[in-house]
A and B are shown apart, each in its own frame.
Chain A
Amino acid sequence: MGIKWNEFFITGDPLILGSQIAILLTMIGIVAGITYLRKWRWLWTEWLTTVDHKRIGIMYIIAAVLMFFRGGMDGLLMKAQTSGPEKEFLTAQHYNEIFTTHGVIMILFMAMPFLIGLMNVVIPLQIGARDVAFPHLNAWSFWLFFSGAMLFNISFVIGGSPDAGWTSYFPLAGKEFSPGIGNNYYAVALQIAGIGTLMSGINFIVTILKMRTKGMTLMKMPMFTWTTLVTSVIIVAAFPIFTVALALMTFDRLYGTHFFTLSGGGMDMLWANLFWLWAHPEVYIVALPAFGIFSEVIATFSRKSLFGYKSMVFSIVGIAVLSMVVWVHHFYTMGASPGVNSFFSITTMLIAVPTGVKIFNWLFTMRKGRIKMTSAMLWALAFVPCFVIGGVTGVMLGMGAADYQYHNTLFLVAHFHYVLIPGVVFAVFAGLYYWWPKMFGHMLNEKLGKWHFWLFVIGFNVTFMPMFFLGLDGAVRRAYTYSEASGFAPLFALSGIGSVVLAAGFAVFCYNIYWSFRYADRNISSDPWDARTLEWATASPVQHYNFAKLPEASSLDAFWYMKKNNEGLTLSDKEIKKIHMPSNSGLPFIMAIVFGVTGFFLVFEWHIAAAIAALGIVGGLIYRSFDYNDGYYVPVEEVQETESAWRNVKGEVNNHVS
């Protein structure tokens, strides 16, 4: 196999040496900690083998927060490097690697798992079901995502990070111009994670179509459920394209084919098209569920039904359709004819219409509402103006002719951060504050939440607003430094300061999680926000079978009307029946390791070892085919005991709505 050990571990850079030592110490610390607390068995039976959608969701969210930290560190390093002209904090190569991993991690390993995590926790509850359609497959989805994410993350200490940008355009990303193994990590790790995502998409479509509770017709579904359904459809329609694109990239890099090469008749623009055919819908895959979260949060804290429910549904479907026909706007300047550019300019600007409808619907939902300024609501409020800035600059960029001016400048970078941070990050924070009691049975601290909010929102604006102006002045993206004579220094410095404030906001968020876990009040109501949808019709934290008796939905905002009409809130002993639940399984976790090992060998182009490891994948699938474990029944007594523990509580519970 010819292993070059001196190229195996990255050496020579003090930053990376520090990370290697930190990773080693953290791993030793975790193993020692778990051993000391004797938590191995608990970890295995309660978490690693779980098929419970809520726990899988929580694991997704934990992974996403960790990846947020990693991607955020990348961002801070970039900001430190560009905070002054001609800085030599990072080398050009190191900077290339960092903006590549920052992009990939933030989109694929932070935004997506954060949202999929919230979907996992909330969707079955919101439609009044006991789990997703395929709980075991759901565990596979998570563990494949996790395997891909970890494989991608080790790249910077073992073998070298990919350095061709998150778009990995050819010919740069090909073997000729990126001869190291860094880009193999991109091709292989994203493939593994992508399989998991595709399976999540299928799982949620079937769950939402087939498992809604009695009375919940499609047009009575909560908005987050609707956006999850449409998002899942986009996942199924778009991810196979990426699967193919990555496979072809792997073939080009590992087996010398000529799909995207300059020689042998290959076509580099084919990659750009395939990539954006997936990556543009991907933007909506992360944006739509976020819109759903805002819809829930705004309706709850405005104490009103969502305004224009039908138009919301039509606009998300419209966005989903349009998301498939705008991909060329990412490369207007790369040789398309004026006719093509005009077509894609029009489709791009059309997206502003349904998005605008949604913005107005949120505003009208708030109009004359009795708004409660909770942390979750603050995120939704800040989202509207920030996202509109992102949206309007998006229309500017969408005009093909004008784009020649903005293309590849920091104006574009500022634009998509203004779309993705308010559109996704604000949303997952809003969702986290909102659904935290549902997940853990206690609230996140509202006071710390406000610190988190203000630091983060101010930091975000200070970081990215200057980048619009830098871009208009001609500062290009992905350049690791600039000259003093360019005059960019003051705005870059301001942006750098903003990023520190942003990071401080994130730190407060982490502290808030820690504080709330230790000190927050556990004696809270199961419905602390006085909310509207069915996930609040059961205990907080939710018992593992979700509902002792499946609720019925007679209208939109089903739980609100249950409370108003005092229907379906009580449970008599006669109504309790034994409940069928799926059994835990260690297979998904083991397969994550097998996939990770196979992927690792493939990255290093050790083909025989990879083929042997791949036999393990086939073996796992065969094992699964013969697995006839049909789940188990939760006995009536256990249900009775669990239900009486949260239902007839004596004394008052605390409602934490400020």
Chain B
Amino acid sequence: MSANLNTSLPLEYQSEQNRMNILGFWIFLGAEIVLFATLFGVYAVLFQRYAGGPTHQDIIMIKEVMIQTVLLLTSSFTMGLAIFEMRRNNLKGLITWFVITLLLGAGFLFMEVNEFIHYVHMGATMQTSAFLSSLFVLLGTHGAHVTFGIIWATMIIIQLVRRGLTPVTARKTFILGLYWHFLDVVWIFIFTFVYLKGLVM
């Protein structure tokens, strides 16, 4: 399976096992789309069921959310640069951009946790109303994915440092890149349908 490298292809696509892993991950992302679509559907059903509790306008801090959005979108851009450096076979550049990506992701996560704490201080908990249940679970699922991504990426950085760029580490990095961009796309939907829509209601 590790045999038969096709060196005319980018590093991460060179072995058949790598090509299968990447296709498998695309299909997994398809499943993730269904998962988030279901959560968005649940939110769409419940988002006006305040049950006498706080509404969107009461709790949304749009300035902070805007900063979160910029952090995450920038991290997607830097992830793109990391993969670009990987294609240029520049391990140092790859790791540098990779670390910057993770720092931006961690910044996003830090702000999201603060946002949650702020909500809870305002008396808006997951148990308050159906609206807040769906809000917390939708945001929380995305946040959990980002957390998982940061842990995962840290493991891959360690492997890159130890082993350098090989078809296997390149494939792992590339797949993580796909995952990271996917989380970014989900966030764009959250930003639009949860925050912006919440503000104009």
Q: Which residues of A line the B interface, CB within 8 A?
A: 133-134, 198, 201-203, 205-206, 209-211, 236-241, 243-245, 247-248, 251, 255-259, 261, 263-267, 270, 274, 277, 580, 582, 618, 622, 625-626, 628, 630-631
User: With A251-B133, A265-B46, A626-B159 in contact, do A210 and B38 touch (Cβ < 8 Å)?
Assistant: no
Tell me if B39 and A265 are in contact (CB < 8 A): no
Tell me if A134 and B35 are in contact (CB < 8 A): no
Interface residues of B in 70-116 (CB under 8 A from A): none
The binding surface of chain B is classed by DSSP as helix
Smallest CB–CB gap between B43 and chain A, Å?
10
Instruction: Write out the residue numbers on chain A whose beta carbons fall within 8 Å of the beta carbon of B20.
Output: 133-134, 206, 210-211
User: With A236-B30, A265-B130 in contact, do A625 and B19 touch (Cβ < 8 Å)?
Assistant: no
B193 contacts the other chain (Cβ, under 8 Å)? no
Instruction: Write out the residue numbers on chain A whose beta carbons fall within 8 Å of the beta carbon of B127.
Output: 255-258, 264
B201 contacts the other chain (Cβ, under 8 Å)? no
Tell me if A266 and B133 are in contact (CB < 8 A): yes
Tell me if B130 and A264 are in contact (CB < 8 A): yes
B34 contact from A240, A247, A263, A264, Cβ within 8 A: A240
Tell me if A580 and B130 are in contact (CB < 8 A): no
A206 contact from B27, B42, B45, Cβ within 8 A: B27
Q: Which residues of B line the A interface, CB within 8 A?
A: 1-3, 16, 19-21, 23-24, 27-28, 30-32, 34-35, 38-39, 42, 45-46, 49-51, 126-131, 133-134, 136-137, 151-152, 155-156, 159, 168, 172
Instruction: Write out the residue numbers on chain B whose beta carbons fall within 8 Å of the beta carbon of A251.
Output: 126, 133, 137
Instruction: Write out the residue numbers on chain B whose beta carbons fall within 8 Å of the beta carbon of A263.
Output: 51
Apart from A248-B137, A251-B133, what 5 extra A-B contacts exist at CB < 8 Å? A240-B38, A244-B39, A251-B126, A265-B46, A622-B155
Query: With A and B bound together, what is the CA distance between A146 and B46 in angstroms?
Result: 35
Tell me if A580 and B1 are in contact (CB < 8 A): yes
The binding surface of chain A is classed by DSSP as helix
Chain A residue nearest to B16 in the complex (CB): A210
Smallest CB–CB gap between A19 and chain B, Å?
37
Tell me if A628 and B151 are in contact (CB < 8 A): no
Tell me if B34 and A202 are in contact (CB < 8 A): no
Instruction: Write out the residue numbers on chain B whose beta carbons fall within 8 Å of the beta carbon of A237.
Output: 30-31, 34
Instruction: Write out the residue numbers on chain B whose beta carbons fall within 8 Å of the beta carbon of A631.
Output: 1-2
Chain B residue nearest to A237 in the complex (CB): B34
Q: Which 4 A-B pairs have the closest CB atoms?
A: A265-B49, A265-B130, A265-B51, A257-B133
Chain B residue nearest to A263 in the complex (CB): B51
Tell me if B31 and A240 are in contact (CB < 8 A): yes
Tell me if A625 and B1 are in contact (CB < 8 A): no
Query: With A and B bound together, what is the CA distance between A573 and B32 in angstroms?
Result: 48
A625 contact from B38, B46, B156, Cβ within 8 A: B156
Query: With A and B bound together, what is the CA distance between A251 and B135 in angstroms?
Result: 13
Query: With A and B bound together, what is the CA distance between A237 and B28 in angstroms?
Result: 10
Tell me if A259 and B24 are in contact (CB < 8 A): no
Instruction: Write out the residue numbers on chain B whose beta carbons fall within 8 Å of the beta carbon of A134.
Output: 20-21, 24
A-B contact pairs, 10 of them (CB 8 A): A238-B34, A241-B38, A257-B136, A258-B130, A259-B133, A261-B130, A264-B128, A274-B38, A622-B155, A626-B155
Query: With A and B bound together, what is the CA distance between A264 and B136 in angstroms?
Result: 15
Tell me if A264 and B51 are in contact (CB < 8 A): yes
Query: With A and B bound together, what is the CA distance between A257 and B128 in angstroms?
Result: 8
Tell me if A265 and B131 are in contact (CB < 8 A): yes
Tell me if B28 and A202 are in contact (CB < 8 A): yes
Instruction: Write out the residue numbers on chain A whose beta carbons fall within 8 Å of the beta carbon of B3.
Output: 580
Smallest CB–CB gap between B102 and chain A, Å?
16
Instruction: Write out the residue numbers on chain B whose beta carbons fall within 8 Å of the beta carbon of A625.
Output: 152, 155-156, 159, 172
Chain B residue nearest to A257 in the complex (CB): B133
User: With A236-B30, A267-B46 in contact, do A258 and B155 touch (Cβ < 8 Å)?
Assistant: no
Chain A residue nearest to B32 in the complex (CB): A240
Smallest CB–CB gap between B74 and chain A, Å?
26
Instruction: Write out the residue numbers on chain A whose beta carbons fall within 8 Å of the beta carbon of B50.
Output: 265
Central interface residue in B20, B155, B172, by most chain A CB within 10 Å: B20
Tell me if B38 and A266 are in contact (CB < 8 A): no
Tell me if B137 and A209 are in contact (CB < 8 A): no
Instruction: Write out the residue numbers on chain A whose beta carbons fall within 8 Å of the beta carbon of B172.
Output: 625
Tell me if B19 and A210 are in contact (CB < 8 A): yes
Instruction: Write out the residue numbers on chain B whose beta carbons fall within 8 Å of the beta carbon of A201.
Output: 31
Instruction: Write out the residue numbers on chain B whose beta carbons fall within 8 Å of the beta carbon of A205.
Output: 24, 27
Chain B residue nearest to A255 in the complex (CB): B126
Instruction: Write out the residue numbers on chain A whose beta carbons fall within 8 Å of the beta carbon of B136.
Output: 257
Instruction: Write out the residue numbers on chain B whose beta carbons fall within 8 Å of the beta carbon of A274.
Output: 38, 42
Tell me if B23 and A206 are in contact (CB < 8 A): yes
Central interface residue in A206, A237, A261, A622, by most chain B CB within 10 Å: A206
Tell me if B23 and A210 are in contact (CB < 8 A): yes
Query: With A and B bound together, what is the CA distance between A236 and B16 in angstroms?
Result: 23
Smallest CB–CB gap between A530 and chain B, Å?
34
Smallest CB–CB gap between B58 and chain A, Å?
15
Instruction: Write out the residue numbers on chain B whose beta carbons fall within 8 Å of the beta carbon of A211.
Output: 20
Query: With A and B bound together, what is the CA distance between A277 and B34 in angstroms?
Result: 11
Query: With A and B bound together, what is the CA distance between A238 and B34 in angstroms?
Result: 8
Query: With A and B bound together, what is the CA distance between A96 and B23 in angstroms?
Result: 44
User: With A265-B129, A265-B131, A628-B168 in contact, do A202 and B24 touch (Cβ < 8 Å)?
Assistant: yes
Query: With A and B bound together, what is the CA distance between A195 and B45 in angstroms?
Result: 26
Query: With A and B bound together, what is the CA distance between A605 and B151 in angstroms?
Result: 26
Tell me if A133 and B24 are in contact (CB < 8 A): yes
Smallest CB–CB gap between A648 and chain B, Å?
30
B35 contact from A240, A264, A582, Cβ within 8 A: A240
Smallest CB–CB gap between B30 and chain A, Å?
6
Instruction: Write out the residue numbers on chain A whose beta carbons fall within 8 Å of the beta carbon of B134.
Output: 259
Chain A residue nearest to B151 in the complex (CB): A618
Query: With A and B bound together, what is the CA distance between A248 and B50 in angstroms?
Result: 18
User: With A202-B24, A626-B155, A630-B1 in contact, do A239 and B31 touch (Cβ < 8 Å)?
Assistant: yes
Query: With A and B bound together, what is the CA distance between A582 and B20 in angstroms?
Result: 15
Query: With A and B bound together, what is the CA distance between A216 and B23 in angstroms?
Result: 20
Query: With A and B bound together, what is the CA distance between A255 and B125 in angstroms?
Result: 11
Query: With A and B bound together, what is the CA distance between A307 and B127 in angstroms?
Result: 58
Tell me if A258 and B51 are in contact (CB < 8 A): yes
Chain B residue nearest to A137 in the complex (CB): B24
Tell me if A257 and B32 are in contact (CB < 8 A): no
Tell me if B155 and A244 are in contact (CB < 8 A): no
Chain A residue nearest to B127 in the complex (CB): A256
Tell me if B46 and A236 are in contact (CB < 8 A): no
Tell me if A202 and B156 are in contact (CB < 8 A): no
Instruction: Write out the residue numbers on chain A whose beta carbons fall within 8 Å of the beta carbon of B152.
Output: 625
Query: With A and B bound together, what is the CA distance between A5 and B126 in angstroms?
Result: 31
Instruction: Write out the residue numbers on chain B whose beta carbons fall within 8 Å of the beta carbon of A198.
Output: 31
Tell me if A266 and B49 are in contact (CB < 8 A): yes
Smallest CB–CB gap between B142 and chain A, Å?
13
Chain B residue nearest to A269 in the complex (CB): B45
Query: With A and B bound together, what is the CA distance between A205 and B19 in angstroms?
Result: 13
Chain A residue nearest to B27 in the complex (CB): A202
Tell me if B49 and A236 are in contact (CB < 8 A): no
Chain B residue nearest to A244 in the complex (CB): B38
Smallest CB–CB gap between A621 and chain B, Å?
8
Smallest CB–CB gap between A602 and chain B, Å?
16
